[in-house]
Amino acid sequence: MPKPSDSDDTRIKRSTFLKGLIGLAIAGGTGKFLYDRYNTLAHVPVRLLGPSMDFGHMVRDGSLKLDPNAPVSKKVKVLIIGGGIAGLSAGWWLKKEGIEDFMLLELEGKTGGNSASGENRVSAYPRGAHYIPLANAESTYVRMLFQELGIIETVDATGIATYNDLYLCHDPEERLFKDGSFQEGLVPNRGLRPEEKAEIERFFKVIVDYRNRRGSDGKPAFAIPLDLSSRDEEFLALDKMSMEQWLKQNNFSARPLLWYVDYCTRDDYGAKPADVSAWAGIHYFAGRRGRAANAEQNAVVTWPQGNGFVVQKLTEKLASHITTDACVFHIESKADAVRTAYIDRKSRKTFLIEADHLIFACPRFILPRVLKQDASKKSIDLDYVKEVVYPPWMVANITLRSLPPARGIARAWDNVCYLSDSLGYVVATHQNISTRLSSPTVITYYYPLADRRPDNGRMALYRADPEDWKESIVEDLMRMHPTIDRYIESIELWPWGHGMVSPGLGYIWGDTRQKLLQDLDRIVFAHSDMSGISNFEESQYRGVEAAIKVKAQLS
Amino acid sequence: MTWALLITAFVISTCGLIYELIAGTVASYLLGDSVTQFSTIIGVYLFFMGVGSFLSKYVEKNIILTFVQVELLVGLVGGSSATILFFMFEYVENFRILLYSLVGIIGVLIGIEIPLLMRILKGQLEFKDLVSKVFTFDYVGALLASLVFPLVLVPYLGLVRSSFLFGIFNVLVAIWTLHLFRKEIPWLNSMRTIAFTLVVGLTLGFAFSEKLVKMAETTSYHEHIIYSKSSPYQRIVITGGKRFKLFLNGNLQFNSQDEYRYHEALIHPALGSLPEAKKVLILGGGDGMAAREILKYPQVESITLVDLDPALTNLFSKQKLFIELNQDSLNSPRVKVINKDAFVWLRHCKQKFDLVVVDFPDPSNFSLGKLYTDTFYRQVKKVVNPDSLVVIQSTSPYFARNSFWCVVSTLESVGFKTIPYHAYVPSFGDWGYIIAWEGGASDSAGFQFGHHYPSGLKYVSKDSVASMLDFPADMKPSVREVNKLNNQSLVHLFEAEWDEYAETF
Ligand SMILES: Cc1cc2nc3c(=O)[nH]c(=O)nc-3n(C[C@H](O)[C@H](O)[C@H](O)COP(=O)(O)OP(=O)(O)OC[C@H]3O[C@@H](n4cnc5c(N)ncnc54)[C@H](O)[C@@H]3O)c2cc1C
C-alpha cells in the first residue's frame, strides 16, 4: 500500500535543526543564569577550621616519643599546660602573687581554648564562649578580675557593682521566633494556653525559691562556683535524677515549658534534659544572683569576640610566659620534679621542661594519653576519665552583608528559633555604638549535637561534608529569615569534637568528680571538667584554686 | 486540542485578573486610599473588557493569528505593567492618566481574547457546551488568581516579579497556540521569534526585578523627588521644588519653609547666653542649618561638625539649592566637617567646647537610641567645661511626652542640670529641646538666659523664649525612665507613643 508522503513531517530539516539548537542554547543559558542568580548559596564559600586535629591524633596513638637522652631545655618553678580560661587564670593568679618563674604551654596557635575567637574584615567573633552573667557575690575571683579589667567600674559600700555600660549586653537582648514571628525574650509568651502560662509561672516560682534557699550548713543551695554550694542532702539528691525526671515528678508537662528547659540544658551543657542531672539543670536557673547598680538581674556582659575579650586581656598580661603551638605529649612525675615534653608544631622540634610543680589545665581525657607511668611503681588508675562526657558542638560564623529582615520585634543579640535543634545565633556587632543603618555583620550559630551519644555525634560532626553543613545550617536559619541565603558572604565552620563537659546523673556530687579533684604528686589540676559545669566562672575558679595550692606548696 | 484551548482560557483569565489586582495594589501604594483605587480600577478594567469584546467582531480573517498577537501584547504590557507604574510615577505629570490607560489597554486586549478563543473553538464543540466550558474555565481562573495573589504572589514574589511572571505565562500560551496551529498560521517563524524574544526579555525583567523595585521605592513620597541616594548609613530623599523637604530614612528632617524656626530655637536660646563662646561642637546636623545660625555670632571662632554621612555633608556643601539655604555654612573657614560616628568620635575626643549642639534624628530605632543613652551623655560631659552649655533636640513633648522627659531624666542621671523648652514648628508640630549644663557645686543660682541675639532673627526673641519655657499639663510626663544601652527605654517609649498617635489618625 502506498504510504502518504510524510517526508516533511518526519525528517528534520537542517535549518529547523539549527534553530532548535540555538533555541536550546538560549533556553539553557537563561536557565543557568536564573539558577545561578537564585541559587546564591552555591557560591557561598565555606571553610572548615576547628581545633587542630593532627597533633592531637599523634598524641593519642602514641607516635610522638621522647628520646630518653633528650637534654632538659628549661627549668621552671611552675609549668601550666593549657591556655584556656583555667590555665590563663592560674597564670594570672601566680603573677598577682608575685611568682614570675612559670611557663604556660598551649597547643593551638592562640590561647583561649573553648573561649577562642576569630576575626575577619567585618568583625571579631566568638568561636565558643560568648558571654558571662553578672557576677554573684560569692564569685570573688570573677569580681576581682572584672574590676582589674574595667568590666566592673565601681563597687559601692554594700557591694553592688556598677558595670561598664559598653560591655553590658545592649537592649534588645534576646528574642524567640515562634508562630511566625519574633517575640521578646526566650521564654515562650505568645500563643500560650492559660494552663501553659500558669505552668511556666509555677516553674519560675520554684526556681526563684531555689535561688533564695540556703541549706542547713548556711550555704546557698546553688552557688557559683558550685563547690561553694550547700551539701544539704535535700539538694544533693537532685543530682541523682535527670532534669527530665524532675520535671515529670513536679508535674511540668506544658510543651512550651519543656521546650524552654530543653533549650536551656542544650545551651549550657550541650545535652538534653534526660542526660543532665536535675541539680545541674536547676543550677542554670537558680545559680545566678548577680546584681548591678546599672542593669537588671539577668543581665550579661558580652563583646564582639565573646569571652575572647577576656582571653585577650589575660594573654596580654601573661605574654612573656606563654608559648603557643606547643603540643604536650609526655608528662613524667618524678619525686623531685615533673618532666614535660612538648613538640613545637611549627619547627617540629621537641623540648623538655623540668618543673617543680605542674598545673594541668587541659581537659582530663588528655591525661591518660600523655601521662607516662613509672613502670616500677603501682600504676595509677585513670579509668575514671572515661566517665567524663564532652558532647560535640558545631559552631558556625556566618558573615552577612547585613542582617536579613524578619517578622516581629527588632533584632536582638541572641536570636533563637522555637523547636529548632540549634540554639540560634548571636550577633557579633550588637555591641557596636555606631549608627549605620544596615552594615555587614557576623553571626555566630550554635549547634550542640545533643540528640545522640557523644561518640556518634563526633563521627557525624567530622564525617559530614562542609557543603552539607552549610545547607542544613542555612535551612535552619531560613525558618527565622526566609531570605537569609541572599545575605550570606561566607561561612566558617568550627567543630568542637570535645566541647564542654556535660553534667550527667550523679557526676557533680558523685565519685568521679571527687577523683578529678585529687592532685597527683606534683601535679595539680585545673579545668572546668572538674566542676562538671563548664562556664567562665567555673574555669576561672579551677585555675585560681590550682594556683593557690601551688603557691602554698612553694613556700 | 479542545482541552488545550480550554486550559488556555483558564490561563488567560488568571493572568487578566492578576494584572488588574497588581494595578490596584500599586495604585493604593502610590496614591493611597485603596478603596477608591480598587473600585475605579475594577470599573475601568471591566468597561474596557467590554470594549474589547465589541471590537472582536471586526476581526474577520486570521483569527488565530490575531489571538496570538493579542496574547503576546498582553504578555508584554501586562508583564511590565508594575514596573512601568512604579517607574513612571516620578516622571509623569498626571499619574492617573497613565494608570487608567494601562488598565484600559490590558482590559481591551483581554476583552478581545475570550470571544476570539470561542470562535476558534466553534468548530469543535456544540454552542451550549462551548459557552459553558469556556466560562467555567474563565471563572475558575479568576478564583485561582484572587487566592494566589494575596497569599502567594505578594508575600513571596512581590508585585514587580509577579507581573513579569504572568507576562511570561501569557507569552507561553501564545507559543503553545502557535504550536497547536503551526500548519494554519501565516508568518509562523516571525511570530515565534517575537514570542521567544519576549520570553527572554520578561525573564530578565523577572530576574532583575529586585533592582527595579529598589529604584522604584523612592516613589512612596507624596511630592516630586528632586534627589535621592542610599548611603551606607541612611537613605537621603529630598522632595519638592522651590520649597523642599529633607527626609532621612523616610523621616522628615526639615521643610525649607519653616526650618528657620526649628534651627533658631535649637541654637539661639543657648548661644545667646554665651557671649564668650569660642568653640562649638555640632553632633549630627550635616545639613549645615545649625552651623548657619551659629555663624551669626562673631565671637565663635571654630565650629566642629561631626556627622557620620559624607553623602549628606557633601550634598549640603556643594549643591547650589542647598548652599543657598544654609548660606554656604559648611564651606566657611570657621567650620570643620568630620564624617565620623559621633559616639565613636566622642570617645576619643580630647578637646573641650563651649557649646555642644546635639541634633540627631529621632530615636526611632535601636541604633539611633544609643545616641540618647546615659553612656552617650557621659561622653558629652567629657568635652564640656563647667560653664559650657549643651543643647539637645529631643522629639516632640506633645506627641511623645514620655520620650521627651526620658531624655531629660537621662541627662540628669549623669549629673547634668537641665532646662527643657519647646517651640512650635508647623511642619513638625510642637517640638522639644533641652539645654543642659554641668554646673559646679557652687552654681546653685542656676542658669540665666543672656538674650544676646544677633539681629535679623525671625523667631527667637526674649519674649518668644519666655513662652518656650512653659509646659502645659498635656506635655507633662506620666513616667520617668533613664535610657541606657541595656534597656533602650527611650526607643520603647518612642515606638509606643508614636504608634498610639498614628493609630488615632
Ligand atoms: C560552643 C561552646 C560555647 C560556650 N559558650 C559559653 C559561654 O557563652 N559562656 C561561658 O561562660 N562558657 C561557655 N562555654 C564553656 C567554656 O568551655 C568555658 O567558658 C571555658 O572556656 C572553658 O575553659 P577551660 O580552661 O576550662 O577549658 P578549655 O577551654 O578546654 O582549655 C583547655 C586548653 O588546653 C589546651 N590543650 C589541650 N591539649 C593540649 C596539649 N596536649 N598540649 C597543650 N595544650 C593543650 C587546649 O587547646 C585549650 O586551650 C562554651 C563552650 C563551648 C564549647
Residue with CA nearest ligand 1 atom 38:
A362
Tell me, yes or no, if A551 comes closer than 8 A to chain B by beta carbon. Answer: no
CB contact under 8 A, B484 and A410: no
CA pair distance A491, A49, nearest whole angstrom: 10
CB contact under 8 A, A433 and B370: yes
pLDDT at A7 over 60: no
- Among B203, B367, B488, the residue with its CB nearest the CB of A34 is B203
The pLDDT of residue A8 is 43
Domain end call among B205, B229, B253: B253
Q: Are residues B247 and B119 in the same domain?
A: no
CATH of the domain at B393: 3.40.50.150
For residue B340, the distance in angstroms to the closest alpha carbon of chain A comes to 9
Residues of B within 8 A of A169 (CB-CB) are: 486
Q: A130 CB under 6 A from ligand 1?
A: yes
Q: Are residues B407 and B492 in the same domain?
A: yes
Tell me, yes or no, if A483 comes closer than 8 A to chain B by beta carbon. Answer: no
Q: A305 CB under 6 A from ligand 1?
A: no
Burial label, A483 (beta-carbon count in 10 A; 0-12, 13-18, 19+): exposed
Residue with CA nearest ligand 1 atom 41:
A328
Let me know if B430 is a catalytic residue: no
Tell me, yes or no, if A353 comes closer than 8 A to chain B by beta carbon. Answer: no
Q: A539 CB under 6 A from ligand 1?
A: yes
- Domain hosting residue B20, numbered range: 2-218
The pLDDT of residue A20 is 63
CB contact under 8 A, B486 and A299: yes
Q: Are residues B296 and B235 in the same domain?
A: no
Q: Are residues B243 and B353 in the same domain?
A: no
Domain end call among B230, B253, B276: B253
CATH of the domain at B126: 1.20.1250
Residues 6+ apart with CB under 8 A from A529: A363, A364, A388, A390, A501, A516
- Output DSSP code: residue A157: T
**ipTM metric:** 0.75
The pLDDT of residue A4 is 44
| pLDDT per position as a tens digit, A422-460 | 999 999 999 998 776 668 999 999 999 999 899 999 999
Q: At what angle do helices B2-31 and B127-148 cross, to 10 degrees?
A: 40
Closest residue in A to B209 (Cα–Cα): A37
The pLDDT of residue A526 is 98
Q: pLDDT (tens digit, 0 to 9) for every residue of chain B, 505 residues total?
A: 678 888 888 888 889 889 998 888 877 766 656 677 788 999 999 999 999 999 999 988 888 899 999 999 999 999 999 888 877 765 666 778 888 999 999 999 999 988 898 888 887 888 888 888 888 888 888 888 888 888 888 777 777 888 999 999 999 999 988 988 888 888 888 889 999 999 999 999 888 876 665 555 444 555 667 777 777 777 788 877 667 888 887 778 888 889 999 999 999 999 999 999 999 999 999 999 999 999 999 999 999 999 988 989 998 998 888 899 999 999 999 999 999 999 989 999 999 999 999 999 899 888 889 999 999 999 999 999 998 999 999 999 999 999 999 999 999 999 999 999 999 999 888 999 999 998 765 454 577 899 999 999 999 999 999 999 999 999 988 888 999 999 999 999 998 887 776 554 4
CA pair distance A89, A291, nearest whole angstrom: 23
> Across A37-51, A490-504, B60-74, B428-442, which has the greatest mean pLDDT?
A490-504
Q: A89 CB under 6 A from ligand 1?
A: no
Q: B41 CA distance to ligand 1 centroid (A)?
A: 66
Q: Are residues B64 and B170 in the same domain?
A: yes
Q: Are residues B196 and B227 in the same domain?
A: no
3-class SS shares of chain B: helix, strand, coil, % to 5: 60, 15, 30
Q: What percent of chain A has pLDDT over 90?
A: 78
Read out DSSP for B151-210? IIIIIIIHHHHHHHHHHHHHHHHHHHHHHHTTTT-TTHHHHHHHHHHHHHHHHHHHHHHH
CB contact under 8 A, B344 and A172: no
CB contact under 8 A, A37 and B207: yes
pLDDT class of A203 with cuts at 50, 70, 90: very high
Give the pLDDT mean for A2-27: 56
CA pair distance B347, A319, nearest whole angstrom: 28
Q: A131 CB under 6 A from ligand 1?
A: yes
Closest residue in B to A31 (Cα–Cα): B203
The pLDDT of residue B243 is 78
Q: A366 CB under 6 A from ligand 1?
A: yes
Q: Please check whether residue A244 is in contact with residue A274, taking contact to mean a CB–CB distance below 8 angstroms.
A: yes
Q: A128 CA distance to ligand 1 centroid (A)?
A: 8
CB contact under 8 A, B368 and A165: no
Tell me, yes or no, if A435 comes closer than 8 A to chain B by beta carbon. Answer: yes
CB contact under 8 A, A165 and B370: no
| pLDDT per position as a tens digit, A330-377 | 999 988 999 999 999 999 999 999 999 999 999 999 999 999 988 788
The pLDDT of residue A3 is 44
Burial label, B487 (beta-carbon count in 10 A; 0-12, 13-18, 19+): buried
Q: Please check whether residue A340 is in contact with residue A355, taking contact to mean a CB–CB distance below 8 angstroms.
A: yes
Q: Are residues B226 and B99 in the same domain?
A: no
| pLDDT per position as a tens digit, A266-324 | 999 999 999 999 999 999 999 999 999 999 988 999 999 999 999 999 999 999 999 99
Q: Please check whether residue A129 is in contact with residue A267, taking contact to mean a CB–CB distance below 8 angstroms.
A: no
For residue B136, the distance in angstroms to the closest alpha carbon of chain A comes to 34
Q: A530 CB under 6 A from ligand 1?
A: no
CA pair distance A141, A545, nearest whole angstrom: 10
Q: Which of residues 151-180 of A touch B (CB under 8 A)?
A: 165-166, 168-173
For residue A3, the distance in angstroms to the closest alpha carbon of chain B comes to 21
Residues 6+ apart with CB under 8 A from B492: none
Q: Are residues B278 and B210 in the same domain?
A: no
Q: B78 CA distance to ligand 1 centroid (A)?
A: 61
Q: Are residues B284 and B403 in the same domain?
A: yes
Closest residue in B to A302 (Cα–Cα): B486
Catalytic entry in B328, B354, B359, B362: B359
CA pair distance A341, A351, nearest whole angstrom: 6
Measured over the CA atoms of residue B127, residue B130, residue B136 and residue B139, the dihedral's sign is: negative
For residue B259, the distance in angstroms to the closest alpha carbon of chain A comes to 24
Closest residue in A to B360 (Cα–Cα): A435
Q: Are residues B211 and B248 in the same domain?
A: no
Q: Are residues B154 and B111 in the same domain?
A: yes
More confident residue, B162 or A260: A260
Q: Please check whether residue B336 is in contact with residue B303, taking contact to mean a CB–CB distance below 8 angstroms.
A: yes
Q: Are residues B209 and B244 in the same domain?
A: no
**Taking an 8 Å Cβ-Cβ cutoff, which residues of chain B contact chain A?**
196, 200, 203-204, 207, 232-235, 249, 308, 341-344, 365-368, 370-371, 373-376, 484-488
CB contact under 8 A, A170 and B370: yes
Which structural domains are found in chain A, ordered by start?
42-50+118-127+390-496 (no CATH), 54-109+324-389+503-554 (3.50.50.60), 145-168+196-298 (1.10.405.10)
| pLDDT per position as a tens digit, A530-540 | 999 999 999 99
Domain end call among B232, B253, B274: B253
**Average pLDDT score over chain A:** 91
pLDDT class of A6 with cuts at 50, 70, 90: very low
Domains of chain B: total? 3
Residues 6+ apart with CB under 8 A from A112: A83, A84, A128, A308, A311, A315
